[in-house]
Chains A and B, each alone.
Chain A
């Protein structure tokens, strides 16, 4: 039971830290923020990898493989497209009035 209370601590503290950090992101970057957090939550790859690779049984492996594909799309695609967007944000070449 105490183990689960610890997990709960981690969740709540991470959510607070996340909220504090993210509320400082300017509206300018809200789309990249969303695609970045999307890529980060593709970390569920970590869970699906174990499901797919542990050879528990046929169903688990099959579900795990589909889950790995989905999560990989999010991780790879999410980071790439976030970077593609961020590359486009440029400052004025010279200060204009």
Chain B
């Protein structure tokens, strides 16, 4: 009786989760969708407490209070610029939870698991451990605790493939001989190692893809947990999470014109010194423009398209961008925002930052929606973006980003670039747009530069 009650509750909450995700298809219905999903979660957790196996609640209360407090603190105090870090951490927690439940399932049955169960537990532990260590490393890279540059060595790919194959082989062996505890803990250890090794060669510019991939692994780990525990709602949610990670990975790699394989095995940015030699030569002699030059340029502008990039997040410049855009609008200038799918360190990073700064979402345009408008724009204002506007993606077949769809900022009458310094940026690719005659480079902290520009604009009136 209780079991069927729990199953019906799980069915209801699965439906609520799917309906909740449907809500996310438009910003108007998104919050309602999240309410539905929260309801689904309450029902599922509530029903689980009736599970016949339950005998004690004391430790559960402690664990949920501790976890809840950490969760609330993280949700309330983490600044929006740190969203990629938060997401990476939560993937790590999800992976860890899955791995621990898997180890517990294995150890309490002392290895006496039937084939399918053993396979589920094996994959659960592998995916969970791999997601945990990979996400922790991604977090470290995003935080700057570990170099964001790709770390590569000669035998990287063969070594990773070997470890992956060995782990799979060990799981298959375990299905036939589930009592081999040493092999089981070997799978656990090698999966941890694999997570580190796979993320190690991946550079910061590829983070959006990696975070999406880890999202999908976390989902698959949850689905495997569901299979191991014969729990329907876990399987459904794992599948949903896996599908969303898979979808986002596809969107991200398409936006970079790269295949999954090349991201996992390619160490983007390792050997990227080629670029355009002419551009490098000119760069040496290039000096930055002054605030005055920029003001003259903006004085005659009727339409401005803002192109934000990771630099905007790094400088926490989103509010300064918005204040500056407000001043321009008061002068009758039309301001739009062009968002590249891989700008920033995770999918949708720029949209969230600009929304935080109170930019209405109907002013944010996707690459396809805005690219034709650059030709009619007076100024493309580039705030800390680089690769996503690099014309080399169109013109230079030798460039590592050749073929990547870019924002057509070069078509604007003038390009105003706010940039920290003249070094070629994270990806180490030269950008010839920066040395074109109709480009003005304003070096320095984007936030300070924008605040200064805004002050001067106010004085002019």
Contacts and interface: CB of A to CB of B under 8 A. Distances in A.
A38 B90 contact: yes
B239 A15 contact: yes
A64 B101 contact: yes
B60 A73 contact: no
Contact of B70 (A66, A67, A77): A77
Interface stretch (B222-230, B399-407, B415-423, B429-437): B222-230
Given A37-B219, A43-B233, A47-B225, A52 B59 contact: yes
A59 to B, nearest CB: 5
A53 B235 contact: no
B233 A72 contact: no
Interface string B20-45: 11101111001101100110110011
Contact of A53 (B56, B97, B247, B360): B56
Secondary structure dominating the interface of A: helix
Query: Which of B25, B53, B94 has the most A CB atoms < 10 Å from its CB?
Result: B94
Nearest to B64: A72
User: What size tier do the contact residues of chain A reach?
Assistant: 35 or more
Contact of A63 (B86, B103, B218, B227): B103
A42 B94 contact: yes
Given A56-B108, A67-B101, A15 B242 contact: yes
B72 A77 contact: yes
B230 A71 contact: no
A42 B360 CA distance: 31
A68 B244 contact: no
Given A33-B248, A81-B78, A86-B30, 7 more contacts: A10-B235, A22-B240, A40-B37, A41-B218, A59-B104, A72-B66, A79-B34
Interface of B: 13-14, 17-18, 20-22, 24-27, 30-31, 33-34, 37-38, 40-41, 44-45, 48-49, 51, 53-57, 59-60, 62-64, 66-68, 70-72, 74-76, 78, 80, 83, 86-87, 90-91, 93-94, 96-98, 100-101, 103-105, 107-108, 116, 211-212, 215, 218-219, 222-223, 225-227, 229-248, 251, 329, 334, 339, 341, 346-349, 351-352, 355-356, 358, 360-364, 366
Interface of A: 1, 3-4, 7, 10-12, 14-19, 21-57, 59-61, 63-93, 96-97
